[in-house]
Amino acid sequence: MAAKGTKLRKTAKAAPNKKKAASRAPKKSHLLLVATRKGAWLFHGDAARKTWRADGPHFLGHVIHHLMLDPRDGRTLLAAASTGHLGPTIFRSTDMGKSWKEASRPPAFKKVPEGQKARSVHHTFWLTPAHKNEPGVWYAGTSPQGLFRSEDGGVTWSEFSGLNDDAKYRAWMGGEQEGTPDGPNMHSIIVDPRDPAHLYFGMSSGGVHETRDGGAHWAPLVDGMEVVEGFDARNLTFHDPHCVRMCPSNPDRLYQQNHCGIYRLDRPGTMWKRIGKAMPKKIGDVGFGIVVHPRDDTRAWVLPMDGQTVWPRTSVEGKPAVYGTRDGGKSWTRLDKGLPRDQAWWTVKRQAFTGDSATPVGLYFGTTSGELWSSASEGRSWSLVARHLPEIYAVESAQIG
Amino acid sequence: MLIASPLRPYTGADEVMLRGATLDELLDDLEARCPGIRFRIVDEQERIRKHMRFFVNGEPVFDLAQSVRPTDEVCMVQALSGG
């Protein structure tokens, strides 16, 4: 199905410091890719990342789980879509969303003989462009959990490696009726920039896993990760990594926001260290997303959610704040200037917190209540980009031009 | 076949004349005319998706193997739920 792009809609006035921005060369423009429960939006930012122009909605009424721009060509957009009522698909655009074309073979499990336990993809949850030397190759993680790969820029998708049918992994992946209330999700598919055959992914639930041979063999990487009290950490089913990020400046360092804390792993080590223990006690270290600095592996940011008693998973005490570390997680600093002081009971999902690669680093997050926030100062101060959007599922940033 | 409204961007029409002796064959014919549409109605295990409903001459049908005659009227609708 081809879908037309939507008219541009302005939400902010022109940048007041246009002269400054124009003098910089080469001029890159900033893009935020916002996926929501009712459609997608592109927000085009000026060079200073102070004002943003909204382009959307695209796919109004469709659930857009993730929207990604291919950094290798700077033009291919993939949108993981479903509706509440139709099956899942992937849409593809090469003209910044002016037109979209549907994948001719979206991710789907193989058909099994009658009587066997059958799976069908409910939605594609996560999209990752592959290695820079593999143009057109993408990975997708689905719910129920499955790993898929496209080698033609997202037009056709196939199950990747034997993972989806591996008996051990199938047990850890859980089925459609198991896992988290919104369904079990495969996420955080990470490609080592030094080696296209070295991949990681996370399963909520099911742990963190790694291959060093392009998917021929996979191994769990969960040592040191805690599970909910009363459960056995040796059983991978109980491990719930929410988001794993690799430091671009040091691919041997991973950070993880887990259902049970914030962690760091330095390879070739295999033991995660719970760096969230250094967070203030009353804030805790529960959350969904984590962002790493593009050039400094000692720096990362989290957005804590209330994980007490019945796990409200909202801003702690209704006072949203980002916490940043500058020493690999030994200490954390509260960063909340510009954010509401109270009565803001936000939830920010794992894909809805991201950063850019500019200097200083821009941070962005979207709430389930439809607010999009940005900081062009590495979290030191925050400003509202948009509100009244539908429930935000994912926010990604890109630089174009 | 009357086409459910969310799928009309595929067909460009409210109704499509289709060939086939079963509901399954009608959907195959629909797929041949409108690539991609079948997967949004039927999953990879050949199960009609949860929110899709078929009626043949006004009677609900849940089985893709249901036979149809040339004069039958087939309606496909979506069962909306939630907000």
Q: What is the pLDDT of residue A17?
A: 46
- Which among B6, B44, B81 has CB closest to A86? B6
Q: Is B39 part of the contact surface with chain A (CB cutoff 8 Å)?
A: yes
Q: Tell me what the mean pLDDT of segment A80-87 comes to.
A: 86
CATH number of this structure's domain B5-78: 3.10.20.30
Answer yes or no: do B39 and A104 touch at CB < 8 A.
no
- Which among A83, A102, A111 has CB closest to B6? A83
Q: Is A4 part of the contact surface with chain B (CB cutoff 8 Å)?
A: no
Would you place residue A4 in the very low, low, confident or very high pLDDT band (cuts 50, 70, 90)? very low
pLDDT tens sequence across A148-192: 999 999 999 999 999 999 999 999 988 665 555 667 999 999 999
Q: Is A111 part of the contact surface with chain B (CB cutoff 8 Å)?
A: yes
Q: What is the pLDDT of residue A401?
A: 79
Q: Is the pLDDT of residue A1 over 80?
A: no
pLDDT tens sequence across A239-290: 999 999 999 999 999 999 999 999 999 999 999 999 999 999 999 999 999 9
Q: What is the pLDDT of residue A117?
A: 83
pLDDT tens sequence across B4-44: 998 999 999 999 999 999 999 999 999 999 999 999 999 99
pLDDT tens sequence across B33-80: 999 999 999 999 999 998 899 999 999 999 999 999 999 999 999 887
- Which among B9, B35, B78 has CB closest to A85? B78
DSSP-derived 3-state class of residue A101: strand
A1 CB neighbours in chain B (<8 A) are 9-10, 36-37
Q: What is the pLDDT of residue A178?
A: 56
More confidently predicted of A84 and A204? A204
B30 CB neighbours in chain A (<8 A) are none
- Give the number of other Cβ atoms within 10 Å of residue A326's Cβ: 15
B64 CB neighbours in chain A (<8 A) are none
Residue whose C-alpha is closest to residue A73's, from A13, A140, A153 = A153
pLDDT tens sequence across A191-248: 999 999 999 999 998 999 999 999 999 999 999 999 988 889 999 999 999 999 999 9
Long-range Cβ contact pairs of B63-66 (< 8 A, separation 24 or more): B63/B23, B64/B22, B64/B23, B64/B24, B64/B27, B65/B22, B65/B23, B65/B24, B66/B22, B66/B23
B49 CB neighbours in chain A (<8 A) are 85-87
More confidently predicted of A8 and A87? A87
Spell out the domains of chain A, with CATH numbers in brackets. 119-400 (2.130.10.10)
Answer yes or no: do A85 and B43 touch at CB < 8 A.
no
The amino acid occupying position A381 is: S
Chain A nearest CA to B29, separation (Å): 16
Q: Rounded to 5 degrees, what angle do the CA atoms A280, A283, A285 make?
A: 85
